[in-house]
Amino acid sequence: MTDRYYLGAYWTARHESDESCAHRAERLFERLGHLEPTWRQWHETGRTFKQAQERQVQTGRASFLNLFARKKNRIGDGFQYWLWAGPHPDEATAVSGFCGSSSHLQTSVCVVDLPTDGEVAGRVLTAPVLREVLRAVVRCWEPAWGVVASEQYRDQVSPSSGDAGTFVGWMTYFSRQWGEVPPLPATVRVEPVEDLGTLVILTEERFTVTNPEHVRLATEVHQILDAAGLLRAL
């Protein structure tokens, strides 16, 4: 079984203007470009991969304001976007998001769908790179909760829907408002993200659902965090 990984950051009820959301998005894509060469050129979707390759888009504030002005990218009082980068379909990275909504019922989100195979995956599916990606997302969007996770492990431990906030990932972020992280096993890395919150990293090697030690450690950390009241639906 090959794990497929994603990064997700989530928050609710934070009204922001299109200008504010565009500024946050601009900062994020600028930081991503420093972490991986293929993340310096982004595209919109198309009917075919070739057509999509021709739909290059800049990631500055003005470009996001243009995206947010389109009717299809407006949902209630919020704004959405979906961009991708990569040399081939199986090595593509997608970044999507929804932001700006004041609703408690509509979850705001930034999701990075990561490649599974190829040279790009080999470079980015590492703890040092994904740690910096998650830290960049946290700094730019200031979410309540975030995760870098194996979809396969998530579906095993949270088979209903993998609700944000309810499970432990390879890396898990908790904002200060979410709660204080209790002491964890010595092998687990716990670090602050400036004054925003706390990042928990289970292992420096790639977390896989087929590694019994990884699963055992994730289960132990899950139990500790759950007992501390930190694992709850957003």
Cβ atoms of 134 and 114 within 8 Å: the answer is: no
In a domain, 168, yes or no: yes
- What's the pTM? 0.95
Band (pLDDT 50/70/90 cuts) for residue 16 is: very high
In a domain, 48, yes or no: yes
In a domain, 234, yes or no: no
In a domain, 35, yes or no: yes
In a domain, 233, yes or no: no
What is the structure's pLDDT at 209?
Answer: 94
- Greatest Cα pair distance, the chain, in angstroms, is 51
In a domain, 146, yes or no: yes
pLDDT tens digit string along 128-184? 999 999 999 999 999 999 999 999 999 988 765 568 999 999 999 999 999 999 999
Domain housing 175 = 5-227
What is the structure's pLDDT at 159?
Answer: 60
One DSSP character per residue, 197-232 reads: EEEEES-SSPP-TT-HHHHHHHHHHHHHHHHTT---
Mean pLDDT of 180-203: 97
For the chain, what is the domain count? 1
In a domain, 65, yes or no: yes
The SS3 call for residue 134 is helix
Q: Using CA atoms, how far apart are residues 177 and 45, in angstroms rounded to an integer?
A: 36
Band (pLDDT 50/70/90 cuts) for residue 1 is: low
In a domain, 39, yes or no: yes
